Structure 1
Amino acid sequence: MAFKSFKTLSVIASVGTAVLFTGYSSQALAMTPFQASYQFAYNGKNLGSATRTLKKSGNTWNYVFAAKAGGIASATETSNFTFNNNQIQSSNFSRTSKILVHNNTMSIKFNPSAKTINTTKDKEQRSFAWKSGVLDELNAELQIREDLKNNGLKSQYWIADAKEVESRRFIKQGAEKVETKYGTFDTIKVVMKHDKPGRETIFWLSPKLDYLPVKVTHQDKKSSYGLLLTGYNGPQN
């Protein structure tokens, strides 16, 4: 079923620096609230829509990814974090999904003082040792965007999910022009490396839209998923 991979699409997150690309603005924008809308496709068929929304209240940031396909399925992911010295400090993350009458939930609580990361998936609980700079699957996209605007991508990113804290790599693969319903954009193409064979996630990030992902694709063996930008309200270069 397509919607079991909403969590992958949200990370897609999203990737080097802009000054390396001729014609791109070298001005780095500070992290700023925005909202973006997308068309969601499964195996080449458009099934629904999705949104990314970033808000700030005091020192806390709230990032939400929501997707739906009619009355059949829906999923929402929420990440709360703080942001200091160009580094995200994760606070908590949650995911809820519904396919017909079936509901699933997952949550992560980051406890830097106790040096633990606690997860709950449905009724199963786990606890992991703390990792410096650990991210969740949603705010990882924002950290990658900030790194691109500043000193370039890190060699690895520690990301927590329900079962583990694992290292992932994001590899820049040049520049491409992407057509969307919202317009045509010069983008940076970034691939997220998976350890499992038959899987590949690619992001196309627009420096003009503060490195927003304007297109995302994920291949999982014989199944494919995608997001394509349809609207945007936020900072632009």
Structure 2
Amino acid sequence: MAHNVLKTVALASGLTTTLLFAGVNPAFAMSPFQASYQFNYNGKNMGSATRTLSKSGNNWTYVFAAKAGAMASATETSHFSLNNSGDIVSNSFNRHSKILVHNNTMSIDFNPNAKTISGKKDKKTYSFDWKAGVLDELNAELQLREDLKSSGLKSNYLIADAKEVESRHFIKQGNETVKTSYGTFDTIKVVLKHSKPNRDTIFWLAPKLDYAPVKVTHQDGKTSYGLLLTGYKGTTN
């Protein structure tokens, strides 16, 4: 159960960008930040999680980490850069989860020069065609945020896993007020549409916190998972 909790929460994050180029309003620039969350399973608090975005020059690193006591943990890391239009260019992605003594790993390497993407899940390897604008499950959230700050959501987003590239659709569903232990925020509600029935992922993004997610929920049949903000360090508006 813990593995499913951590994997699903990580995928939900599964979830930029108008940078400081000449003539662009700095208020819309992607900025480093750190956010902390509690996450729950079927309404019960299971542990804590963090999102951390850092940069060195034009090299960016986004890390999601979750932990359920001593029983389970999961970490996702996305490395990327930004092109002249301020859009994300994916470089690599990896995930590591541990349930008691069992470890699971996944990695993706993006090679636009060779027009290929290489994936590895545990001991199985994959190779498939690279596509312009392809994202990973983690930095897709950042691209989504930056698009909301500038021109609005795209009709679809190309997201790679270890085996293939899939087109995913995000829908803006208005505004909601969300109360957290860190404060109450006006948010933009965005729903990720899944191909499977009875499955929904919803993000609540707070413009006051540079569109960082203050709440994330995932419903899969009768099972639910969620994140709720407990702390934030970074740009505020």
Q: For the superposition of Structure 1 and Structure 2, which TM-score range results when normalised by the shorter chain?
A: over 0.9
1:56 aligns with 2:55: yes
2:104 maps to amino acid: N
- In 2, Cα distance between the equivalents of 1:5 and 1:108? 22
The correspondence of residues 56-95 of structure 1 with structure 2, limited to 5 A, is 56-84=55-83, 85-95=85-95
1:162 is displaced (CA, Å) by 1.7
Asked whether the equivalents of residues 93 and 107 of structure 2 are also in contact (C-alpha less than 8 Å), the reply is: yes
The 1-side partners of 2:96 and 2:14 are apart by 21
Letter in 1 for 2:202: I
The TM-score with structure 2 as length reference comes to 0.92
In 2: Cα distance, 1:195 partner to 1:65 partner: 25
Query: 1:63-117: per-residue Cα shift (whole Å, max 9, x none)?
Result: 0000001100000000000012220000000000001111000000000000011
**Aligned residues of 1:13 and 1:213 also touching (Cα < 8 A):** no
1:39 paired with 2:38, answer yes
Q: CA deviation at 1:7?
A: 4.2
Give the letter aligned to residue 100 of structure 2: L
Aligned-partner Cα distance in 2 for 1:97–1:124:
16
**How big is the shift at 1:197?**
1.2
Report if aligned partners of 2:192, 2:202 keep a CA contact under 8 Å in 1. Answer: yes
The equivalent residue for 1:147 is 147
Shift of 1:128: 1.0
Partner of 2:22: none
Q: Which has the higher contact order (CA 8 A, sep 6+)?
A: 1
| Alpha-carbon separation, structure 2, partners of 1:171 and 1:131 | 23
Question: Do 1:14 and 1:204's aligned partners in 2 also have CA atoms closer than 8 Å?
Answer: no
- The 1-side partners of 2:234 and 2:198 are apart by 35
Shift of 1:13: 3.5
Structure 2 spans left out of the alignment, 5+ residues: 16-24
Percent identity between matched residues is 72
Which residue is 1:19 aligned to? none
- Give the Cα separation in 1 of the matches to 2:78 and 2:9: 15
Q: How many residue pairs were aligned?
A: 227
**CA deviation map 1:111-152 (0-9, x unaligned):** 000001110000001111111100000000000001011100
Q: What's the offset of the Cα at 1:27?
A: 8.0
Residue 4 of structure 1 aligns to a residue whose secondary structure is: helix
Change (3 A) 1:177 1:27: farther
Distance of 1:187 and 1:220 partners within structure 2: 23
- Give the root-mean-square deviation of aligned CA atoms: 1.6
Aligned to 2:215: 215
Question: Where does structure 1 differ by over 4 angstroms across 4 or more consecutive aligned residues?
Answer: none
Shift of 1:5: 4.6
Is the 1:14–1:203 Cα contact (8 Å) retained in structure 2? no
Distance 1:139 1:58, change over 3 A: same
- TM-score of the pair, normalised by structure 1: 0.92
Question: Residue in 2 aligned with 1:166?
Answer: 166
